[in-house]
Each structure stands twice: as C-alpha cells, then as structure tokens.
Amino acid sequence: MYLNHISEAIGRTPLVKLNKVTAGIQATVLAKVEYFNPGNSVKDRMALKMIEDAEKAGLLQPGGTIIEGTSGNTGMGLALAAIGRGYKCIFTLTDKQSKEKMDILRAVGAEVIVCPTNVAPEDERSYYSVAKRLNREIPNSFYPNQYDNLSNTAAHYETTGPEIWEQTNGKITCLATGVGTGGTICGIAKYLKEQNPAVKSIGIDTYGSVFKKYKETGIFDENEIYPYKTEGIGEDILPKNVDFNLIDQFIKVTDKDGAVMTRRLAKEEGLFVGWSCGSAVYGALEYARENLTEADILVVILPDHGTRYLAKIYNDEWMREQGYLD
C-alpha cells in the first residue's frame, strides 16, 4: 500500500506514556506526539483542513497563492499541502521565530517575510497586518487566517479528539495543551466533552499573554501584554478559535520553565520536541500535582519537533545566555 501524497500521512499519531518527568504525579500522563505528522507538527491537521474547506467554498482557485501569518508550523503544514495542489505560498513570521523555522519554510518553496515582534497587532508592520495587506494586493490569493478560521477547530474536532478518545478507550479525564490560535484545545475539548462532560481541559498560557486573565475576569488587559520568548503559545489578541467556554482553566508557564522541561523531555523521555511542548508538560504536571489522582488519565499534546529549535533550546550557549542553564 502507498500514499498518493505526503499529506495523506497526517494524523493517527501515537500516545506515549511519560515515565520520568512525572515523578510524584499520581495520574497516568500520556503524550500525544504530534511530530509524527509529515510536517513534524500538530498544525498539519488544520492546515490541510483550511485548504480543503477553502477549495470547497471557492475561495482558493487553481494556481492561487496562500498567504498566512505563522510562527512556522502552520506554514509548514500549508506548504506541504500546497505542493501537491500547485499553490504558491507566502508566509509572514515575527523576528523572534527560530532561524530553523524560516529555513525549513524556504526549503519547501515558500517565500518568507520577517516582521518585527514588538509592535501592536494593528501596526502596519505586524505579521498579521503584512499578511492581510499582501492578500489585498496579490490577485488570486487566499489568506487562511488560522486565528479566526473555524476550520482550525473543526480539524481537531474531526481527527485529534476522536483519536485520543479511541486511544484511551474513553478513559481520558483531563486534557492539557498550549493555547495559541485555540483551535487545538477547543476542537479536542469539544469532542471529548461531548463524549464525557466531566473531562477537564487545561490551557497552557505564557507570561506576556492575555488569555489567563481574560478567562478569569472577562477583561482584555493590555497591561498583561509584553514580550516573551516561547514560540507558538500565548497571544496579544483574542482569536475566534479560542472558545473560553471549552477551556476550564489556564495555567501560565515561564519561558525558563518551559525551556528546561523541553530539554528534560529529550534527555529523560527520548522525546525530541519543541519549546511549547515543554511548557505544556510543565503546566500539565503543575495541574496534576494539585488536582489529579491515580484514577485519572491526563493527555498532553506535544505540538512539534525539536529540529525547529536547534539554535535555541538545544544550544547550551544560548540557554546559558538566557539564564536557563547554570
């Protein structure tokens, strides 16, 4: 048996028990290892779904150009799907994203435009604004807008959620995952809560992001917004894919705690994963320590692969410069 295109390999990723980093935790902690997707990230799922839905709606025409603001992984998923369909890709990234992410996107034929991180979302230089402007200027182009495109959530409702339910034989009691666009946690949580309303969903946020305070108070507090280094989680906007009713609680994790846990996952569990994976596990274990018992099964989503972070997380010199390693 063979696949007609690499995008057919998306999904059906393994669930792997964590054994060493979970010392002192009573619950069974299982990692959904999303780097087994062909683009090495969870974003392959929603990238393909956004393209398929756009084609059905007539928003993406033959020979078109896909333009998206991305932290890297969504761009990779879009690029892989685009290659088989004959689309061009232009991606805007912030200058805090790793060089590896930019090089990988160029390797699969995308044009990469680097934008400043420390500007407001509505600033004409922001990666959101530049993507929108290019979409207006370039004929026959499509701007998926992963933040507000509900195909993002639908992809996880249709695939990731059912996979987790089946892999745990319906015994999952808690889900934890980083929140950026919100599609992953909300799609999975929607499916799981329909099967069992008692399943808890824990969103992992970062300091410098608005999510946790907004969930707890309903206030969008701009004082919560400041630069942080962790890639792929947290936001300075409220994406439409974030349904706060589907997220029971947020836990914030520092850049350092996420980075150190990422290194531990590689060294102690053999899971060579990305930065936000460490953040997700750190936050999940913090929640489990206080709230879960040996009867619980906690599933943590590990979004991507360590190759995206070789010059940062897996570089001892860089880690020392940031004060993350002694």
State the pTM of this model: 0.96
Write down the pLDDT at residue 96.
87
Alpha-carbon gap, residue 160 to 311, rounded angstroms:
30
What class has domain 6-36+155-321?
Answer: alpha beta
Write down the pLDDT at residue 84.
87
Query: Which residue intervals of the chain bear CATH 3.40.50.1100?
Result: 6-36+155-321, 43-142
Strands (E), 116-248: 141-142, 174-178, 200-206
Which is it for the CA torsion 45, 160, 37, 127, positive or negative?
Answer: positive
Alpha-carbon gap, residue 6 to 21, rounded angstroms:
33
Sequence letter at residue 110: A
pLDDT tens, per residue, the chain with 326 residues? 999 999 999 999 999 999 999 999 999 999 999 999 999 999 999 999 999 999 999 999 999 999 999 988 999 999 999 998 999 999 999 998 888 889 999 999 999 999 999 899 999 999 999 999 999 999 999 999 999 999 999 999 999 999 999 999 999 999 999 999 999 999 999 999 999 999 999 999 999 999 999 999 999 999 999 999 999 999 999 999 999 999 999 999 999 999 999 999 999 999 999 999 999 999 999 999 999 999 999 999 999 999 999 999 999 999 999 999 98
C-alpha dihedral (101, 102, 103, 107), degrees to nearest 10: 100
Question: To 5 degrees, how large is the angle CA 84–CA 147–CA 192?
Answer: 90
**Lookup: tokens for 257:** 């705690």
Question: Hey, which residues are catalytic here?
Answer: 43
Fold observed for domain 43-142 = Rossmann fold (3.40.50)
